[in-house]
A = this chain, B = another copy of it.
């Protein structure tokens, strides 16, 4: 057990599926009051008249124990009557919405229309699902990721789901980010002198983390903090576990490597967690500017998630001790 002077919150920046796995690990080893999960909302979109927040929902369902862990999105024990009837009516069916999942989108949309903030709505959803730690949207203002592709500028879900990531990626734009205010709860946590650490999840840096970092003042707030900032690499042995990260990196002319992830977060992170299979990376990364730890980052079950969470936190506490002299005693 670790006793900390920095016994404040751990702020965890997360995207969708990969991010949610480590979120579950962190929630299983941290007191709920010590974990603040910041969800990317750049993936959000308006569809069938509803506001859909895929990353928030994946986090909430995962931590609420109702996620469909096989497919990585949506709810377990789901039914598809709505979708089947919508297809019969000639409606838009490229984005699958399960019957249970639909309740989340409708309830959220009703509350947004009534003027409730996404933060408050998300808190309500989490409370109903029995999620005890905080899941916060990165902002209450809409930010929408656009993907510049060989087929033109696409809304993120059009690129991601409808077009199955097939168009070649040229770049990204985070519409609304410049005008959006970062979530005040997040800014407050980052300025908390007891902040334990900031962890960047093993999510896609370009579409899951960058929208968060694009919010005005957020990068500055992160650079101001004394607590360590650690990223968990989403790349293992030159491949992404899930999703289009590796394909995107190649299309952007980047090497699909841990080094590239480090380069992406250069000047921001104090430490990087790489997979044990990427030990070769340890030699290449400039260890004067950044600490590297190799761990088993592939998370197949809850014990994997908890183990990685414990190791990442231990790494953070080590960095905290080393960099800032904060007391971190392994009992």
Contacts and interface: CB of A to CB of B under 8 A. Distances in A.
Interface string A78-103: 11011111101111100000111111
A48 B106 contact: yes
B109 A85 contact: no
Contacts of A110: 48-49, 91-92
B107 A82 contact: no
Contact of A49 (B79, B90, B113): B113
Nearest to A86: B103
A128 B90 contact: yes
A104 interface: yes
Contacts of A99: 79, 81-82, 85, 99, 102
A75 B85 CA distance: 11
The contact size tier of chain A is: 20 to 34
Contacts of A81: 78-79, 81, 98-100
A124 interface: yes
A128 B88 CA distance: 7
Nearest to A98: B81
Contacts of A92: 110
A183 B63 CA distance: 51
Contacts of A109: 49
A13 interface: no
Contacts of A75: 85
A125 interface: yes
Contacts of A78: 81
Contact of A91 (B79, B84, B98, B106): B106
A100 B85 contact: yes
A125 B89 contact: yes
Nearest to A51: B49
A101 B103 CA distance: 14
A125 to B, nearest CB: 7
A256 to B, nearest CB: 39
Contacts of A88: 103, 128
24 contacts: A48-B106, A49-B49, A49-B106, A49-B109, A49-B113, A75-B85, A78-B81, A79-B79, A79-B81, A81-B81, A81-B99, A82-B82, A82-B103, A83-B103, A85-B99, A85-B100, A86-B103, A86-B106, A86-B107, A89-B128, A90-B124, A90-B128, A92-B110, A99-B99
Given A50-B106, A82-B102, A102-B102, 6 more contacts: A78-B81, A82-B103, A82-B106, A85-B103, A89-B104, A89-B124
Interface of A: 48-50, 75, 78-79, 81-86, 88-92, 98-104, 106-107, 109-110, 113, 124-125, 128
